[in-house]
Structure 1
Amino acid sequence: MIEVKSSLKGFKTTLYKLETILKPLGFSIGGNWEYDHGYFDYPLSKEGSYVYVRIPFTAIEGELDRPGVVVELGTPFILGHQYQAGVDEEATVGTVTASFNQFQQPTDPDTEIPNEFEKEGRVIIQRVEQAIQEN
């Protein structure tokens, strides 16, 4: 995991507004959210290991499953996971389930991140900073 210093840390807005800014840039809310916190994920690689730009957010007014919730962003980071090959090869599953199965244990939950993905991740974070400033 590589934390990236960013002006995003401490930014506050509604989750709805944040989604309208981040989804067009290719981010989605990760499936591991709770009622008080979650992550926006941007996939950099899904071959061999999964590498994501991840932007954490915390609910500061309301709960994430309620309209109008206000969130605060944390420090973005670049995260890599190496998953087990061949887990449940005989099962027929959908693309979403196959791409990130919450029950599959990573063989390396904090795999090394190649330089090209670190550079690309930093560029993506800069794009988010710019998009937020423009909105």
Structure 2
Amino acid sequence: MIQIPSQIEGKHFDLYKLEQLLKPLGYTIGGNWDYDHGYLDYKIDDEKGYQFLRVPFRVVDGQLDARNCTVAIERPFLLSHLFQDDLDDHAYIGNASASFDQFQEPVDKDASVPEKFVDIGKALVQELEQILID
């Protein structure tokens, strides 16, 4: 994980409006949000894993699943997940429904970020600053 200091840290935004601005650029609300915080994720690359710019936010007014929710942006960071190249030895196989978990466990879910993505992450944060502050 590499933190990227930004001028957007601490700024408050209406979450719905924030999503409307950033979704067309490729940002999504990460799946691991909770009632009081969440993440905007931008997938930079998926070569031998996933490299993301993650923009954390916390709720300052309202609820994440309702309109009129105000959030404060926290420090963006780069995140890298590396996955196995072969089959997952610990895949879950269900018995009653005959379903299975097809997703591999990461080899390293907090891997070092390849240097070539650091400059990309910094440029993405600068783009966010231009869109959200100007």
Range into which the TM-score falls when normalised by the shorter chain: 0.7 to 0.9
**Alpha-carbon deviations, 1:25-63, whole Å to 9, x = none?**
211111111111100000111120210000001111011
Question: What's the offset of the Cα at 1:126?
Answer: 0.6
Does 1:23 find its partner at 2:23? yes
> Alpha-carbon deviation of 1:133?
2.1
Q: Percent identity, aligned pairs only?
A: 40
**RMSD over aligned Cα atoms:** 2.3
Contact 2:81 2:106 in 1 (8 A): yes
Aligned 1:1-135 pairs, distance under 5 A: 1-85=1-85, 86-87=87-88, 104-134=104-134
Offset at 1:84? 2.9
Query: The residue matched to 1:22 in structure 2 has which SS?
Result: helix
**AA matched with 1:77:** F
Q: 5+ residue gaps in structure 2?
A: 92-98
Count of residues paired in the alignment: 126
Q: Aligned partners of 1:63, 1:105: CA distance in 2, in Å? A: 31
Separation (CA, whole Å) in 2 of partners of 1:20 and 1:42: 14
AA matched with 1:132: L
Give the conservation status (yes or no) of the 8 Å contact 2:26–2:42. Answer: yes
SS, match of residue 128 in structure 2? helix
Runs of 4+ aligned structure 1 residues displaced above 3 Å come to none
Whole-angstrom CA distance in 2 between matches of 1:84 and 1:116: 21
Query: Larger radius of gyration, structure 1 or 2?
Result: 2
The 3-state SS of whatever aligns with 2:111 is coil
Q: What is residue 96 of structure 2 aligned with on the other side?
A: none
State TM-score, norm by structure 2: 0.84
Long gaps (5+) in structure 1: none
TM-superposed deviation, 1:66? 1.3
